[in-house]
Amino acid sequence: MASHKGTIGILTGGGDVPGLNPAIRAVTFRALREGYRVIGIRRGWAGLVDFVPNDKEDNSAHVQVLTEEIVDRAGRTGGTFLHTSRTRPSHLPQALVPPHLRDSYQDEINDVTKDILKNLEFLGIDFLIPIGGDDTLSYGQRLHKEGVNVVAIPKTMDNDVPGTDYCIGFSTCVTRTIELTHALRTSAGSHERFCVIEVFGRYAGYTAMLPTMAGAADRCVIPEHRFDSEHLTELLARDRAHNPSNYAVALVSEGAQMADDFDMSFEGDEKDQYGHRKLGGVGDRVSVQLKEHSAKYNNGARINIVNQRLGYLVRCGDPDAIDSIVPMAYGNMALDLVLSNTSGRLVSLRNGCYDSMPIDVVTGPKKSIDVGKYYNADRLRPRYETFVRQPLFIMTSDM
């Protein structure tokens, strides 16, 4: 058996985004050429939970050795060929404890970290590279505290991982949002309606702000600012009246709240292992409010609505150019840190330059839009100034 410098484990957790496979490809190519062995951990942290540390066990459903041939083809595609999950080993429900661990963990919620550590040791993993959002990476930070060498790569459609201006998946999300919003204009214009489009964004409104700034919508409402639905109606009615095709478009972040809302809009009461309920429905509620208020600003006649939730349409398919290039750079930066024996870092983009931050940043304050700096709360749209010396996507992590 050939000797190696060491073994690198890589996994993807949370929601899928375009750009994950290019990141896996970049890590694997560089690692193999530097003399490392690379193990792909399947289904995020679930792969390490379900792994059975016994040479006689078939663990092919949980881990696989990666080669250039495996990752090269996948690296040109969207999604993650390693698969993903929202598993949180420190908060594992009893129903998800694998059979070989059930004698050891019998509480309703269990912390199986000691067995995660055993599995990492059994696999001989010297460095672990998780790719995910702040939920996935928060457990990576936990393992770093437990002594595991961790180098994290940020990804999320929402672009809300603290410590970095850019997360893998964000550019493709913005690109698709612009394309799909423009496509929906034909229906909105044909019927002379308001067009309400619900987009991703639980705590941060980047995925509504950037497309609006690029001209995809007239107005946007974001989680960082509670809005008055009648005021939004008034603004959209004015936009519609000044549009030759007699329609107007608003982007609504899934985490946005109207002024009198008690909470965000959820599809149900079920929570994932990170304590999040599935968001959805604020676009429907906004649409109802706009229709009810519209007669007041349209000579007594109600305005009908084109209402669409973009959902997975913006996270499926192949990555755009930026989500092919940034993952390549992030993967190689991760290997730079491995080669220098530096762990506990989050690779990042800061003011247009690649860098890294202490991984502890992912459990710090949530990254969100500076409303005073970037959002015109009275006009419910972005501010179109202060671009000098701003990075490509304008709104920085401000940390």
- 142: which 2 tokens? 């936990």
Tell me the CATH architecture of domain 7-168+318-363.
3-Layer(aba) Sandwich (3.40)
Q: What percent of the chain has pLDDT over 90?
A: 82
| Domain positions in the chain | 7-168+318-363, 172-314+371-382
Is 165 assigned a catalytic role? no
Helix, strand, coil percentages (3-state) for the chain, rounded to 5, are 35, 20, 45
Q: What is the mean pLDDT of residues 332-345?
A: 97
| CA dist., res. 288 & res. 307, Å (int) | 10
Q: Is residue 279 very low, low, confident or very high in pLDDT (cuts 50, 70, 90)?
A: low
Whether 7-168+318-363 shares its CATH topology with 172-314+371-382 is answered yes
Q: Is residue 218 very low, low, confident or very high in pLDDT (cuts 50, 70, 90)?
A: very high
**Does residue 247 register a pLDDT over 60?**
yes
| CA dist., res. 394 & res. 111, Å (int) | 40
* Predicted confidence (pLDDT) per residue in 36-45, tens digit: 999 999 999 9
CB 219 within 8 A of CB 380: yes
| CA dist., res. 252 & res. 264, Å (int) | 12
Conformational region of residue 14, where left means phi above 0, alpha means psi within -120 to 50, and beta covers everything else: left
**Out of 50, 134, 158, 239, which one is annotated catalytic?**
158
* Predicted confidence (pLDDT) per residue in 144-174, tens digit: 999 999 999 999 999 999 999 999 999 999 9
What is the value of pTM for the model shown?
0.93
Q: What percent of the chain has pLDDT over 70?
A: 94
More confident residue, 381 or 275: 381
CB 162 within 8 A of CB 364: yes
| CA dist., res. 188 & res. 220, Å (int) | 16
Q: What is the mean pLDDT of residues 356-382?
A: 93
For the chain, give the mean pLDDT: 93
| CA dist., res. 322 & res. 304, Å (int) | 37
* Predicted confidence (pLDDT) per residue in 60-94, tens digit: 999 999 999 999 989 889 999 999 999 999 999 99
Contacting residues for 268 by C-beta, under 8 A, at least 6 apart:
277, 278
pLDDT of residue 265: 64
Q: What is the mean pLDDT of residues 283-307?
A: 96
**Does residue 1 register a pLDDT over 50?**
no
- 250: which 2 tokens? 């608003």
Q: What is the mean pLDDT of residues 348-366?
A: 92
CATH class of 172-314+371-382: alpha beta
More confident residue, 342 or 1: 342
